[in-house]
């Protein structure tokens, strides 16, 4: 799934969000490992994806890509 792909700006459904996770979870894990170490990386990624799910309808494709948005939530 491409970074710029999203559902209606006000509603991100389960399938769209799942596509975001599939497309970017490996990168999030690598970045999390660098931030907190490998032992805690899974927890940070899980927290980030929970935060992303809760805020999924705030994603605005005119302001950046899904990848960038997820990275900002991780950091």
**pLDDT at residue 8 in the model:** 43
In tens, the pLDDT along 4-60 reads 444 444 578 999 999 999 999 999 999 999 999 999 999 999 999 999 999 999 999
- Residue 48's domain comprises 14-74
Helix ranges, the chain (H): 14-36, 38-54, 66-74
User: Is 4 among the domain residues?
Assistant: no
Give how many domains the chain has, as a whole number.
Answer: 1
Which candidate, 56, 59, 65, places its Cα nearest to that of 24?
65
Structure tokens at 49: 């994806």
User: Is 7 among the domain residues?
Assistant: no
């Amino acid at each position: 799934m491409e970074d710029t792909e999203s559902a209606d700006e006000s509603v991100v459904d389960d399938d769209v969000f799942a596509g975001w996770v599939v497309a970017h979870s490996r990168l999030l894990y690598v970045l999390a490992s660098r931030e907190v170490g490998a032992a805690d990386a899974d927890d940070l990624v899980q927290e980030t994806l929970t935060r992303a799910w809760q805020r999924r309808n705030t994603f605005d494709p005119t302001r950046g890509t899904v990848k960038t948005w997820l990275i900002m939530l991780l950091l």
